[in-house]
Amino acid sequence: MPLPALSSQSLSEQAYKALRAAIVQGDLQWGEKITERGLAEHLGVSPTPVREALRRLEQEQLVERTSPRSLRVASVSPLARSESGAIEAALEGVAARLAAEKATSEQLDAIGQLLDSADEAAEQLRADREHGRDLDPQKIELIFNALRDFHRSVEAAADNAQLIRTLDQVRAFSRSERLKIASAQVAAGETGGQEQRYQQHREILDALRDRDVERAETLARQHAMSAVGELVGWDRP
């Protein structure tokens, strides 16, 4: 299990961030049994900061206690994923509205550069597919990460700390799932829906540049909702 060693500064906070990241990234699997001592050994700390971190994760319902001494990473039902996705879509719409009002020219240019880098990798994938070459999973992840950073940059331009905190909470289980789904769809040649969603990023950026708050919010919400169905019913192995 790839967990980083921690320094002495605020060990419980570092343990919380490391464990939460491991859940979000899929290093700790849904339903996986965990122990304070085992996690402490991986992180290189005593059980005390891990215990404090797990209490916070329990409050967020990311881990659940099955007995006084036994815990596991929480499993998420299709209904919960659907509801979280709907909340995320609404919040992304609000973020785009605020970004249309507040984004600087420098921020908008940086967002555009992210899409440029994704376009380059996407074009290489198309060429590989047309010529019957194996698809490079690193290029798929590069596109995925660039688009993830696109959304994070829009949210940063919204400049609202409470909104960003809330989005982080509802996204706790989504990143690794979406990367798996995207990779599987590209490998299977199921690119129709992906191409449409991919182009929506440019439309959102155009709305931000035009300072069209209504269109930016509507596009961002619709774009996010189009991904919700993919998460529902997708089972993590």
Residue 63 pairs with which residues in a beta bridge?
73
Q: What is the pLDDT of residue 194?
A: 64
Q: Where are the domains of the chain?
A: 11-73, 78-231
Angle between helices 137-158 and 105-130 in degrees, nearest 10? 160
Q: What is the pLDDT of residue 236?
A: 39
Q: What is the pLDDT of residue 235?
A: 43
Q: What is the pLDDT of residue 198?
A: 84
One-character DSSP codes across 116-149: HHHHHHHHHHHHHHHTTPPP-HHHHHHHHHHHHH
Q: What is the pLDDT of residue 233?
A: 43
Residue 153: partners with Cβ closer than 8 Å, 6 or more residues away: 107, 110, 111, 114
- Tens-level pLDDT at each residue, the chain (237 residues): 667 666 555 889 999 999 998 887 778 888 899 999 999 999 999 999 999 999 999 988 889 988 877 899 988 777 777 787 889 899 999 999 999 999 999 999 999 999 999 998 888 888 877 878 887 778 888 888 898 899 999 999 999 999 998 888 777 655 555 555 555 555 555 455 567 778 899 999 999 999 999 999 999 999 988 766 554 444 433
Nearest residue to 158 (alpha-carbon basis) of 83, 234, 107, 224 = 107
Indicate the helix (H) or strand (E) that contains 49. helix 47-59
Residues 14 and 7: beta-carbon distance below 8 Å: yes
* CATH number assigned to the domain covering 11-73: 1.10.10.10
Q: What is the pLDDT of residue 80?
A: 73
Superfamily of domain 78-231, CATH level 4 = GntR ligand-binding domain-like (1.20.120.530)
Q: What is the pLDDT of residue 117?
A: 92
